[in-house]
Structure 1
Amino acid sequence: MAIQFKSQSDIGKSLTRSKMILCEFFEKWHYFSLELAVYNTVWWIGNYCHPLVELQFWAKDRITIYMDKYLNNSILPPHHTPTTSQNTTILNTIRSTLKNKQPREIVDNSNYKIWIFWWQGEKAMPDLVRGCFQQVKSTNDNVILVTQENIRQYSDIPDYIFRRVEQGEISFTHLSDILRVSLLAMHGGLWLDSTCWIPASIPDEVKSLRLISPRTKDQPKMPFWSDSRWCGWCSGTNLVQNPLFVFTRDFFYSFYKTRSRIPFYLFIDYVYDYAYRNIPEVKTMIDTMPENNINRNKLHFLLNEKWNKQEYSKICKNNWVFKLSYLNSATL
């Protein structure tokens, strides 16, 4: 059974993207502010119109300034666990995280879990997603599929977030952002998006790193908060209570207690970047993370090409994870 990826016409793409950008504009205006809605719209226009990439850089910088001010001045509700007795700002949350450091357990290779999320379970997976999942299981141990049935077993996500999911206020995409930092903060291990292809066993040296995510060094600046320093679709740690994931988890739990919409698409990358700029330990971990998986996107662009074992082996050399996509696919 093969997967064929359909190409949408240029006119179709333009109409789809225009509708999305327009809907985003009114949503951000309604839930946040007209200022943020304008910056977000400009960012999307620059994203899709490559000659206007400077606009995207401009919008990213304005969104960052806006969100820093928003976070630094926002009063957040108490964490869902009784760790705080009164409302606090995000900066105080950071200070508390750093002040109340606890000994961090190091996860050894034999207990290093690989986390994959599909709400409806394996039987409901599209063909490409199921193929990726079966591949990682065939080449690695301790692979855990998190579903609707067991999500509470592995995470401490509060009930009010699940209620928002059930009511359609929080999408499964946004739930996966919350889930990945919850799992990594509690257990360590490696998070893989469901469309990650793992050609072989993940190297032991990867599992021994305090922080790991696909990274490319010495790249031209990009108008994204990750800026080739990490990839949100694949991230891991051998530390339980890694400060990056603890901070992001605690922030998400507080944020979603009063909100059901994110301010912009790459929100989790912004939060990682905020932690990078405000928590020295996080900055050190990201700065010292080795370059890895520089060919991580190459298989995606070959999905409709004729199978070439030699080319596949060449691409997989020194690369242990690839990002694919099941969007616009059909089974033939």
Structure 2
Amino acid sequence: MNLKEKYLFIKKKSKVDYQISKQFGIKYGLTDYLATVVFREKSKIGKKYFYAHHELVKAYLLKKYGYLLDGYVQTGERISSTGNVWLFWWQGLNEDTPIVVKKCIDSIIANAGDKKVIIIDQDNYSEYVSIPDYIMSKLDRKQITLTHFSDILRLALLSEYGGIWMDATLFMVEKFPRDMENYTIYSIKHNKFSDYHVCKGKWSSFFLACGENNSVLKLFRDFFYEYLKNEDSLITYYLIDCIIAICYENINEIRTAIDIMPTNNENVFELQNNLFNNYNEEEYLKMKINTHIFKLSWKLDFSSDNKNTFYNKFLEDKL
């Protein structure tokens, strides 16, 4: 980040963490600020504060909303070979859609096989799910962001229909593995960041899949709904992961369902980490070991003059 970007980031985080402190208590806002601004999340001390912040958040959520876990009963079919793939781009695809998003969506369509790819946007989401008015009101008032609305939307769609949710910045280089159909829930399980992150690498909210009538996703959805019914702001950016973690840690059936998922897509972040490096076929083949999906971002600086990068191969459809 340049100086201007750093200033804007700090200004935005200060505002967010002030609001968190005001509503939930200073320890919640302070630990987040120390983790993300003062020490940065991936530094040694930053990791400690990041972990501490989300342990506090989970304790708060469990104390206030733990009753939602009572009497949980596991139901759900296995993931279908012909289920829907759900993608989301609020503005709809048009000439202003970032090229990274367009290329990623093209790659998903090309590798979907018998699955139907449905792109959800601001004009059609209500055709598929009915989101409570109090949530839409919070979105209109900017109490929640589009990022968090997409978290709600993925849980609503999956609990209603099953299928696969994929962020629009996921780049596919192979078809979905057939062994997904052996499970009732599935996610990218890369096992990275296990020393501090909320999900410990056991799941990835940017890729979630389930079969029809899945009680796990319904519980996640209902937990998120209940939170937004009662709270005026988000206690953490990673609320969806905290909700999943609480259910994982306190319900044996959910913990088992997540634990039996195989490790997969271990190099999911490696293409983005090397996107502007010189292309190397040997390195790329290493990246693809046990990995058929890569997480990218449309917010990176794409102004490099180097024409022999992984990014240029990506643009030229040569990856």
Greater Cα shift, 170-179 or 253-262: 253-262
Q: Tell me the CA shift for residue 133 of structure 1.
A: 0.6
* Preserved contact between residue 127 and residue 331 of structure 1 (Cα < 8 Å): no
In the alignment, the residues of structure 1 paired with residue 199 and residue 243 of structure 2 have an alpha-carbon distance, to the nearest angstrom, of 10
Q: Which amino acid aligns with 1:152?
A: S
**Equivalent residue for 1:71?**
61
Alignment of 1:224 onto 2:197: yes
Q: Tell me the CA shift for residue 45 of structure 1.
A: 4.1
Counterpart among 128, 134, 142 of residue 160 in structure 1 = 134
Describe the superposition over 1:211-241 as per-residue Cα deviations: whole angstroms up to 9, x where unpaired: 2222234x6742211111111111212x223
In the alignment, the residues of structure 1 paired with residue 238 and residue 250 of structure 2 have an alpha-carbon distance, to the nearest angstrom, of 19
Give the alignment of 1:157-196 within 5 angstroms: 157-196=131-170
Query: Percent identity at matched positions?
Result: 25
In the alignment, the residues of structure 2 paired with residue 94 and residue 264 of structure 1 have an alpha-carbon distance, to the nearest angstrom, of 20
In the alignment, the residues of structure 2 paired with residue 257 and residue 34 of structure 1 have an alpha-carbon distance, to the nearest angstrom, of 22
* Preserved contact between residue 158 and residue 165 of structure 2 (Cα < 8 Å): yes
Q: Which amino acid aligns with 1:138?
A: A
Q: Which amino acid aligns with 1:64?
A: E
Alignment of 1:234 onto 2:207: yes
Evaluate the alpha carbon distance shift between residue 281 and residue 122 of structure 1 in structure 2; reply closer, same or farther with a 3 A threshold: same
SS in 2 for 1:115: strand
In the alignment, the residues of structure 1 paired with residue 41 and residue 66 of structure 2 have an alpha-carbon distance, to the nearest angstrom, of 36
**Equivalent residue for 1:114?**
85
* Preserved contact between residue 42 and residue 56 of structure 1 (Cα < 8 Å): no
Evaluate the alpha carbon distance shift between residue 330 and residue 50 of structure 1 in structure 2; reply closer, same or farther with a 3 A threshold: closer
Q: Once superposed, what is the RMSD of the aligned Cα atoms? A: 2.5
Counterpart among 272, 285, 292 of residue 257 in structure 2 = 285
Evaluate the alpha carbon distance shift between residue 302 and residue 153 of structure 1 in structure 2; reply closer, same or farther with a 3 A threshold: same
**Equivalent residue for 1:250?**
222
**Equivalent residue for 1:271?**
243
Q: Tell me the CA shift for residue 19 of structure 1.
A: 2.5
Evaluate the alpha carbon distance shift between residue 49 and residue 194 of structure 1 in structure 2; reply closer, same or farther with a 3 A threshold: closer
TM-score by length of 1: 0.81
SS in 2 for 1:328: coil
In the alignment, the residues of structure 2 paired with residue 35 and residue 328 of structure 1 have an alpha-carbon distance, to the nearest angstrom, of 32
In the alignment, the residues of structure 2 paired with residue 61 and residue 243 of structure 1 have an alpha-carbon distance, to the nearest angstrom, of 30
**Equivalent residue for 1:77?**
none
Counterpart among 267, 275, 299 of residue 295 in structure 1 = 267
Give the alignment of 1:43-54 within 5 angstroms: 43-45=35-37, 48=40, 50-51=42-43, 53-54=44-45
In the alignment, the residues of structure 2 paired with residue 221 and residue 317 of structure 1 have an alpha-carbon distance, to the nearest angstrom, of 20
Q: Tell me the CA shift for residue 281 of structure 1.
A: 0.8
Alignment of 1:20 onto 2:18: no
**Equivalent residue for 2:172?**
198
* Preserved contact between residue 216 and residue 254 of structure 2 (Cα < 8 Å): yes
Evaluate the alpha carbon distance shift between residue 16 and residue 222 of structure 1 in structure 2; reply closer, same or farther with a 3 A threshold: farther
Describe the superposition over 1:134-165 as per-residue Cα deviations: whole angstroms up to 9, x where unpaired: 11112213111111122122223222212222
Evaluate the alpha carbon distance shift between residue 270 and residue 166 of structure 1 in structure 2; reply closer, same or farther with a 3 A threshold: same
Alignment of 1:91 onto 2:72: no
* Preserved contact between residue 86 and residue 166 of structure 2 (Cα < 8 Å): yes
SS in 2 for 1:122: coil
Describe the superposition over 1:35-80 as per-residue Cα deviations: whole angstroms up to 9, x where unpaired: 21112222224761655x2453255235424542x33443xxxxxx
* Preserved contact between residue 295 and residue 319 of structure 1 (Cα < 8 Å): yes
Q: Tell me the CA shift for residue 17 of structure 1.
A: 3.9
Evaluate the alpha carbon distance shift between residue 168 and residue 285 of structure 1 in structure 2; reply closer, same or farther with a 3 A threshold: same
Q: Which amino acid aligns with 2:40?
A: Y
Q: Tell me the CA shift for residue 23 of structure 1.
A: 2.0
In the alignment, the residues of structure 1 paired with residue 110 and residue 190 of structure 2 have an alpha-carbon distance, to the nearest angstrom, of 28
Q: Which amino acid aligns with 1:320?
A: H
Q: Tell me the CA shift for residue 33 of structure 1.
A: 1.9
Q: Tell me the CA shift for residue 203 of structure 1.
A: 1.8
Q: Which amino acid aligns with 1:198?
A: M
In the alignment, the residues of structure 2 paired with residue 248 and residue 147 of structure 1 have an alpha-carbon distance, to the nearest angstrom, of 22
TM-score by length of 2: 0.84
* Preserved contact between residue 46 and residue 56 of structure 1 (Cα < 8 Å): no
Counterpart among 124, 143, 149 of residue 150 in structure 1 = 124
Alignment of 1:56 onto 2:47: yes
SS in 2 for 1:190: strand
**Equivalent residue for 1:214?**
188
* Preserved contact between residue 115 and residue 191 of structure 1 (Cα < 8 Å): yes
In the alignment, the residues of structure 2 paired with residue 43 and residue 93 of structure 1 have an alpha-carbon distance, to the nearest angstrom, of 30
SS in 2 for 1:39: helix
**Equivalent residue for 2:315?**
none
